[in-house]
């Protein structure tokens, strides 16, 4: 599963709209919460991609990818992805 920009935009608009119109939240709060939903979706997609990469291309490919993540998005993001992907791999996930 890969998160495309159009998927993320659709998810954002859907979640913000539901929270604003059905939940009665202000637009600002609804959008902030929708951004959190999109980030969680993106993170799950990245973890799934890393697990697949490990299974198909091996650990060196994952290390290279995570170095790029660290360079562009910071060590906290790279470490979180690394830890969660490793946990999935240990559980035998094959995504």
- For residue 1, pLDDT beyond 60: no
Share of the chain above pLDDT 70, in %: 95
pTM of the model: 0.79
Query: Could you count the other beta carbons within 10 Å of the beta carbon of residue 92?
Result: 6
Q: What is the mean pLDDT of residues 9-26?
A: 95
Tell me the DSSP string of 2-63. Answer: ---HHHHHHHHHHHHHIIIIIT---HHHHHHHHHHHHHHHHHHHHHHHHHHHHHHH-HHHHH
Query: Quick check: 93 pLDDT over 80?
Result: no
């Amino acid at each position: 599963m890969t998160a495309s920009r159009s998927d993320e935009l659709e998810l954002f608009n859907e979640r913000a709209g539901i929270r604003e119109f059905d939940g009665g939240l202000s637009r600002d709060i609804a959008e902030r919460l929708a951004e959190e939903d999109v980030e969680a979706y993106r993170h799950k997609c990245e973890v799934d991609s890393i697990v697949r990469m490990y299974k198909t291309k091996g650990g060196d490919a994952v290390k290279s990818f995570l170095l790029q993540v660290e360079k562009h998005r910071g060590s906290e993001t790279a470490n979180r992805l690394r830890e969660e992907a490793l946990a999935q791999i240990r559980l035998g996930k094959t995504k």
